[in-house]
């Protein structure tokens, strides 16, 4: 994986992908795959989308799973088999998909996943490409990486 080295003594809190607009390369937000009841778990039971433009309000839908049916404006989140960003998305394979309401990409939004996702390299989702699409339009994509608490928060 690319990016800064993360000290192994920091507690891991799920996995995260940062999204950048496919057209403008501006930050669109991030997805955090995590287990709220066991933050250091190696599997995720929930997904939280956070937009950089939203305030601190969080819409939580943890009592119902991520929608499996598409409404007209919903955003399709696809976890791909490959993490190769140089390939077109259609050539990246497909591991899993789910929908987020279109309004979620303008705020903080959290839902329970239909099934647990493994947060490990290889057989899990770490290092895989994730894309967000609406209809035929690719909104953004990125690579899933480990998410750790900053040192200042790890000691709390």
Residue 73 within any structural domain of the chain: yes
Which helix (H) or strand (E) element contains residue 153?
A: helix 151-154
Please report, in tens digits, the pLDDT of each residue of the chain (156 residues total): 444 444 444 456 789 999 988 778 788 889 999 998 888 888 999 998 888 765 444 444 433 444 445 556 788 999 999 999 999 999 999 999 998 887 666 677 888 998 899 998 888 999 999 999 988 888 899 999 988 765 544 444
Q: Which domain holds residue 35?
A: 14-148
For the chain, give the longest Cα–Cα distance. Answer: 45
Residue 20 within any structural domain of the chain: yes
Distance in angstroms (rounded) separating the CA atoms of residues 62 and 121 = 26
Distance in angstroms (rounded) separating the CA atoms of residues 18 and 152 = 22
Residue 3 within any structural domain of the chain: no
* Cβ-defined contacts of 123-127 (< 8 Å, 24+): 124/42, 125/15, 125/33, 125/44, 125/79, 125/95, 126/1, 126/15, 127/1, 127/83
Residue 1 within any structural domain of the chain: no
Residue 8 within any structural domain of the chain: no
Residue 155 within any structural domain of the chain: no
Domain harbouring 44, CATH code: 2.60.40.200
Strands 108-118 and 43-50: antiparallel
Model-level pTM?
0.76
The position carrying tokens 């599997």 is 43
Structurally, how many domains does the chain consist of? 1
Residue 7 within any structural domain of the chain: no
């Amino acid at each position: 994986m690319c990016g800064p080295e993360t000290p192994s003594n920091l507690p891991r809190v799920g996995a995260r992908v940062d999204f950048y607009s496919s057209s403008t390369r501006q930050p669109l937000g991030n997805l955090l795959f995590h287990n709220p009841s066991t933050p250091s778990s190696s599997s995720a039971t929930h997904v939280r989308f956070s937009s950089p433009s939203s305030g601190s309000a969080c819409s939580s839908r943890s009592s119902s799973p991520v929608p499996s049916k598409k409404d007209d404006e919903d955003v399709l989140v696809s976890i791909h088999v490959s993490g190769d960003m140089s390939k077109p998305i259609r050539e990246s394979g497909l591991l899993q998909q789910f929908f987020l309401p279109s309004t979620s990409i303008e705020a903080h939004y959290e839902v329970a996943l239909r099934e647990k996702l493994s947060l490990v390299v290889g057989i899990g989702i770490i290092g895989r490409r994730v894309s967000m699409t609406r209809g035929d339009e690719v909104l953004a994509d990125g690579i899933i990486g480990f998410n750790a608490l900053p040192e200042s928060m790890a000691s709390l």
